Every structure is written in C-alpha cells, then in structure tokens.
Amino acid sequence: MSLRITTRPRLEKGERFDLVIVGGGPAGLSAAIYASRFLLKTVVLTVDIGGQLNLTNWVDDYPGFTRISASELVARFRDHAQSFGVRIIPGVEVKSILREGDMFRVLGTGGVDVYANAVIIAVGARRRKLGVPGEEEFQGRGVSYCSICDAPLFKGRKAVAVVGGGDSALEGASLLSSYVGKVYLIHRRREFRAKPVLVKEVLSRDNVELLLDTVVTEIVGDDHVKAVKVLNKATGESRILEVDGIFIEIGFEPATDFFKSIGLEVDEYGYIKVDEWMRTSIPGVFAAGDAINLWRGFRQVVTATATGAVAAYSAYQYLIEKGLYRSASSK
C-alpha cells in the first residue's frame, strides 16, 4: 500500500534548502505542509510515503473523517504538501547528517547529497522482532510483521499465530479470524495493553485461542512455516502449535544507532529527546512523530501530525533568529 510518486522530482547534488525533512509519514508530511506555508524551500527525503500508515487498512480516529482508508489519507497528506511546492523524494534512506559551517549536509542512498539550514527528523520507528530461532530464516515465508498487510495471503489456511498484547496484535487476531480456521493469540503477560474494545472483539471470536503467560521459543518449518514452539512461563509447559504462519506484532523500536551517529541525545529507550517545541539537543535539528520521546504510550496519526506542525514552526523560528531565512523573492 506504500505510495510512490510516478515521476521522481529532480534533485541536484549539492542543492541547498531551507529545510530537509527526513521521513515521509504523517509527521514528516505535516511538517512539509507547514514549512511550505512558511515559504521555506523544503524537500522530504523518505524510504516510502506514508510510514506506518502503510501497515494499516482503515483509519477511523482522525478528526474530520469518520472512516477513511489509510492509503487515501496518505495520498491526501502527500497531495497537500505537493500543492504548496514541496518536493518529495521516495526511495531514499538518509545515512548521515553532518554539520558543515552554518549548514547541514544530508547524505542518502541513490547519491543524495544536499544541504539545509535546518533539519527535521521524522523517521518513525521500526518493527520489533522476537529474536528466536527460525524468525529470520522464515521471514516472508510465513513470518510476517503486519497482520493488516498480509492477512489476505492466508485466506483458507488452517491456523496462524499472532504474537503480542497491544492494539496491533488484537486488531490482527480479529482480522485473521475472518480469514483462517483458527488463530492462536500468544501474549507473554496475563493482561492485554490493547484498547478494551479490541479485547472485547477478540474475545467474541470463537476461533481465537488465547495463550497467556506464554512466549514463542522457536519457529520451525521446511520451505515455509509449519509450526511454532511455545513455553508457558507460569507452568513451564512446552507446546508445539501447527500453524501456517506467525504474525509478530510486539511493537516498534527507534532507530537509535542512526540518532546517535548524528550526535542526538536520546532517552533510556532510544527515542530522540525533544522539548515542547520539538527542539533536539542539536540547534537546527528538530524531530517529530514516533521518533521522539514524547507520548511513547500513545502513538496516533493525530499526535504525529501535531508534532510535525510544531517542528516546522520551530524550524522557521530558528531560521529567522539565526538570520538564515530568505524571503520568497530571493529564492
């Protein structure tokens, strides 16, 4: 469901911008919209367009839309930013951000090499893995990290397992129960962290079996996943579940190594430390969305877009204070 731009905008080596935004999810695109309204020459460098919205199907909690497909919402964000002249360059992974004089040099894959007076980092977070035998081996061959994305591929299968206790795991278990004969929902604790309405929905499904206080110890198969080995931590009992796939929905982790390579201060969990204006420990570098330490337990599209807007405003104010802002007529 990741959105791509058919014609990739031209990007000159050494080109200079007022602002480079790293990341094209809701936070990055919101920042781009606001930056462009401040008349900042802005470019978005991103691996894909949409970020974590690409991992879901429907959005029903974004103000103004009772229910909208995630792909449609992303398209609206993208089109809004582009309508103000923002260039969005997909397929780019930013590798380093270096301070050179009063500017930042941003280097990325595909030969991207540009300069900016300010930078906003909105790269989100990446899927967390179990780290058990068989996980890497069977990735893409029965091991999935996105129930919403891959559930249709398992239509008519006998059984699958879902691992996790948060919203994504419960949503995945509910969705998959409509596609397969049986769903094992494996959670290492007794209580779920998911919203009560999601827990209620899963409990209403006759073909969902809860395995609480239980962890996966191994994923086994031949050319494809055939079973998972689990351990009940309370009883010490081991069990082998015959499944056609396993969906690992245990949350996300920040790109801590990337943040540290830039020199950014991070919290104890590896997220970028920001103040209420999205300012990081490096003057001129701002951060937004799921990459930051604020509201770790409440990651929503609306909070991502809010932090993106604030980051853009702060970048604009920084450029003015440093005398780096150029009027539209001089660009």
Please state, in angstroms and rounded to a whole number, the distance separating the CA atoms of residues 290 and 81. 20
Q: Is 223 a catalytic residue?
A: no
Helices 196-203 & 167-176, crossing angle to 10 degrees?
30
Residues linked to residue 107 through DSSP beta bridges, in sequence order: 96, 113
Q: Are 62 and 302 in contact (CB under 8 A)?
A: yes
Span between the terminal Cα atoms of the chain, in Å: 35
Please state, in angstroms and rounded to a whole number, the distance separating the CA atoms of residues 141 and 200. 31
Q: Is 146 a catalytic residue?
A: yes
Q: What is the SS3 string spanning 129-161?
A: CCCCCCCCCCECCCEECCHHHHHHHHCCCCEEE
Choosing from 18, 48, 150, 290, which is the catalytic residue? 150
- In degrees and rounded to multiples of 5, residue 107 shows phi and psi of -115, 135
Q: Are 264 and 271 in contact (CB under 8 A)?
A: no
Please state, in angstroms and rounded to a whole number, the distance separating the CA atoms of residues 118 and 102. 9
Q: Is 61 a catalytic residue?
A: no
Choosing from 18, 146, 167, 244, which is the catalytic residue? 146
Active site residues: 146, 149-150
